[in-house]
Chain A
Amino acid sequence: DTGVSQDPRHKITKRGQNVTFRCDPISEHNRLYWYRQTLGQGPEFLTYFQNEAQLEKSRLLSDRFSAERPKGSFSTLEIQRTEQGDSAMYLCASSWGDGRASEQFFGPGTRLTVL
């Protein structure tokens, strides 16, 4: 399969715990994006990388959230001290550069439930 993959697909945690999600982009893609989607809403941008550099981070993103892409391939998104309001679907997308063929392709998402 050559699409974007995410792991785990589902995560249930207790409030206050830390969680980490992984995203593997399409292999030739150099840009990787994280979005969050709550029920009944469109995806909301969190951050994105070009290779290993984090180019943009949403001002709405709490300091409890951190993302890395250390070797310019897979990425991890960590949420520290989870809150019930963090419950959402976390989506990863990837694209190639910023040219005409740089459409963003999404993975299946990780659904987080904070109890």
Chain B
Amino acid sequence: GENVEQHPSTLSVQEGDSAVIKCTYSDSASNYFPWYKQELGKGPQLIIDIRSNVGEKKDQRIAVTLNKTAKHFSLHITETQPEDSAVYFCAASITSGSRLTFGEGTQLTVNP
């Protein structure tokens, strides 16, 4: 089955700096790669996703890149703010409606 690895497990940045989180996946059949943000005591919230027919997607301060050949994808957050502090999860699946396989998460801390 699919296996998703995520790095780093913790990331601390200064407000205004950029943050990058990287994931690799094992199943070449995977075509859908969402990113979720989870705050303490809450369920995961979808922040951005990318499908295999594009290499990059951007939404304001958040961008995701995908390299299908190398089987890795990354989340980029620019101009970080304290409210960006949370746990971020990457995931992979064959389609957006099928089971998601999640990475182990990255605890992002943005210091004021």
Interfacial chain A residues near B95, Cβ < 8 Å = 98, 102
**B105 and A42 within 8 A (CB):** yes
**A106 and B104 within 8 A (CB):** no
From residue A105, how far is it (CB to closest CB) to chain B in Å?
Answer: 7
From residue A34, how far is it (CB to closest CB) to chain B in Å?
Answer: 10
**B44 and A43 within 8 A (CB):** yes
Interfacial chain A residues near B51, Cβ < 8 Å = 100
Interfacial chain B residues near A4, Cβ < 8 Å = 43
How would residues 84 to 115 of chain A score, 1 for a CB under 8 Å from any chain B CB and 0 otherwise?
A: 00000001010101111011111111000000
How would residues 26 to 50 of chain A score, 1 for a CB under 8 Å from any chain B CB and 0 otherwise?
A: 0000010101000011111100100
Partner of A43, one of B89, B96, B97, B98: B89
**A42 and B104 within 8 A (CB):** yes
B residues lining the A interface (CB < 8 Å): 4, 6, 34, 36, 41-46, 49, 51, 89, 91, 95-105
22 residue pairs from A and B, CB less than 8 Å apart:
A42-B91, A42-B104, A42-B105, A43-B102, A44-B102, A56-B99, A95-B96, A98-B95, A98-B97, A99-B97, A100-B51, A102-B97, A103-B34, A103-B46, A103-B49, A104-B46, A104-B100, A106-B36, A106-B45, A108-B42, A108-B43, A109-B43
